[in-house]
């Protein structure tokens, strides 16, 4: 219950600011007489997909010798097909605009189908070695299938799976929780992260310019910037000799991101650019000040630099509001 809101609705109704409807309906929600469990249903669906796909993964791992590869692959394929059947029957017609939501479960059942396809492809690849030494191509296949599904069924969830599978094909992990760019050789992974990131950002920009699925640009741009700036930062902190070049590249890219995001009043890319630029500048501070005196002076310079950035942020926020 929200007592202030309930009182306000009654008072606004008396003053004639709110008519009836909607005053009675708003009063019911403010008093807690009507509540939505939509978020809870979403949480149940997400947890269901997570548990089910984990169970399938374990089942395959523990039983594939006993049941046989053909039976396992067919069973997972059938389950994936059932998921896609649900999706196809519920889907709205294709549009390049934002499609109307086809039910709360739609995205999750689509995700389940895609994860089952991914598991099936990986299993078939391990058992039958379709791609041979080029086996990571199954990740590209997953990325393409997920990408096509994302565009056809207007699903940001499927798109995020597509982008992360594409990056994984190049050995890059988009999961920042892992704390590394990927399991491969750092130099290669770093380069791949920068290229993948730039590609994603570019696709996001093209979609907006072409006005085709323009609302996907949030996913493309933010995934892309995460990889691009993460790759450049990895170069700044991971390279002993050429870190200066990486810092220069980071400075140029961050400045461009900050400027474009500032002009478009897009907060998340703006914040990503600012944080990346500041983190990169810490390496410079360490090289310039830290090597002379790694003591209180260094930490005071770090604090002062953060205060400087903060002042700039406040000024930028004021300018954004004025425009």
Q: Which of residues 257-286 bind another protein (CB under 8 A)?
A: 267-268, 270-271, 274-275, 278
Residue in 20, 24, 32, 96 binding another protein, rule: CB under 8 A: 32
- Does 244 bind another protein (CB under 8 A)? Our answer is no
- Does 142 bind another protein (CB under 8 A)? Our answer is yes
Task: Look at residues 205, 228, 233 and name the one whose alpha carbon lies nearest to residue 218.
Answer: 205
Residue in 102, 164, 234, 254 binding another protein, rule: CB under 8 A: 164
- Does 87 bind another protein (CB under 8 A)? Our answer is no
At closest approach, how far in Å is the CB of 209 from another protein?
A: 20
**Interactions with another protein, residue window 97-116 (CB under 8 A):** 98, 101, 103-105, 107-109, 111-112, 115-116
DSSP state string for 152-201: HHT-HHHHHHHHHHHHHHTT----GGG-SS-SS-HHHHHHHHHHHHHHHH
- Does 88 bind another protein (CB under 8 A)? Our answer is no
Neighbours of 218 (CB within 10 A): 15
- Does 255 bind another protein (CB under 8 A)? Our answer is no
**Which CB, 175 or 248, lies closer to another protein?**
175
**Interactions with another protein, residue window 114-133 (CB under 8 A):** 115-116, 118-119, 121-123, 125-126, 129, 132-133
At closest approach, how far in Å is the CB of 6 from another protein?
A: 9
Task: Give me 208's structure tokens.
Answer: 């907006």
- Does 1 bind another protein (CB under 8 A)? Our answer is yes
Residue in 75, 82, 152, 188 binding another protein, rule: CB under 8 A: 188
- Does 5 bind another protein (CB under 8 A)? Our answer is yes
- Does 149 bind another protein (CB under 8 A)? Our answer is no
At closest approach, how far in Å is the CB of 166 from another protein?
A: 9
What is the rounded distance in angstroms from the CA atom of residue 296 to the CA atom of residue 303? 10
- Does 309 bind another protein (CB under 8 A)? Our answer is yes
Counting Cβ atoms within 10 Å, is residue 233 exposed (0-12), middle (13-18) or buried (19+)? Answer: buried
Cα Rg, the chain, nearest whole Å: 25
Binding span for another protein by CB under 8 A among 87-95, 176-184, 197-205, 246-254: 176-184
Q: Where on the phi/psi map is residue 94: left (φ > 0), alpha (ψ -120 to 50), or beta?
A: beta
Residue pair 257/224 in contact by the 8 Å Cβ criterion: no
**Interactions with another protein, residue window 211-240 (CB under 8 A):** 215, 218-219, 223
- Does 17 bind another protein (CB under 8 A)? Our answer is yes
**Which CB, 244 or 295, lies closer to another protein?**
295
- Does 192 bind another protein (CB under 8 A)? Our answer is yes
Q: At what angle do helices 69-90 and 106-128 cross, to 10 degrees?
A: 160
- Cβ within 8 Å of residue 78, ≥6 positions away: none
Annotate each residue in 33-72 with x if it binds another protein (CB under 8 A) or - if it does not, as one string.
Answer: xxxxxxxxxx-xxxxxxxxxxxxxxxxxxxxx--------
- Does 303 bind another protein (CB under 8 A)? Our answer is yes
Counting Cβ atoms within 10 Å, is residue 23 exposed (0-12), middle (13-18) or buried (19+)? Answer: middle
Task: Look at residues 279, 274, 181 and name the one whose alpha carbon lies nearest to residue 227.
Answer: 181
Cα-to-chain-centroid distance, residue 220:
8
Distances (CA, A) of 190 to 65, 112, 204, 234, 244: 38, 31, 21, 7, 16
At closest approach, how far in Å is the CB of 184 from another protein?
A: 3
Cα-to-chain-centroid distance, residue 206:
18
Total residues binding another protein (CB under 8 A): 130
């Amino acid at each position: 219950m929200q007592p202030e809101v309930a009182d306000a609705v009654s008072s606004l109704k008396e003053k004639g600011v709110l008519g009836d409807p909607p005053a009675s309906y708003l009063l019911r929600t403010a008093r807690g007489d009507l509540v939505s469990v939509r978020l809870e249903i979403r949480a149940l669906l997400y947890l269901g997909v997570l548990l089910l796909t984990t169970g399938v993964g374990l089942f395959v791992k523990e039983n594939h010798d006993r049941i046989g590869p053909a039976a396992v692959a067919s069973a997972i394929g059938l389950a994936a097909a059932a998921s896609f059947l649900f999706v196809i029957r519920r889907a709205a017609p294709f549009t390049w605009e934002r499609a109307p939501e086809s039910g709360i479960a739609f995205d999750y059942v689509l995700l389940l189908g895609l994860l089952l396809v991914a598991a099936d492809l990986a299993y078939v690849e391990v058992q039958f070695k379709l791609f041979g030494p080029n086996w990571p191509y199954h990740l590209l296949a997953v990325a393409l299938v997920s990408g096509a599904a994302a565009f056809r069924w207007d699903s940001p969830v499927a798109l995020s799976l597509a982008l992360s599978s594409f990056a994984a094909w190049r050995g890059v992990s988009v999961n920042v929780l892992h704390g590394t760019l990927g399991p491969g050789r750092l130099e290669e992974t770093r380069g791949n992260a920068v290229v993948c990131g730039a590609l994603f950002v570019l696709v996001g920009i093209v979609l907006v310019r072409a006005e085709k699925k323009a609302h996907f640009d949030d996913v493309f741009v933010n995934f892309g910037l995460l990889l691009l700036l993460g790759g450049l930062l990895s170069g700044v902190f991971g390279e002993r000799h050429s870190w200066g070049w990486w810092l220069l590249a980071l400075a140029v890219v961050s400045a461009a991101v900050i400027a474009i995001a500032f002009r478009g009043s897009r907060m998340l890319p703006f914040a990503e650019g600012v944080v990346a630029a500041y983190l990169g500048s810490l390496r410079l501070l360490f090289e310039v000040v830290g090597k002379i005196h790694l003591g209180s002076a260094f930490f005071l310079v770090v604090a002062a630099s953060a205060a400087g950035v903060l002042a700039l942020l406040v000024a930028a926020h004021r300018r954004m509001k004025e425009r």
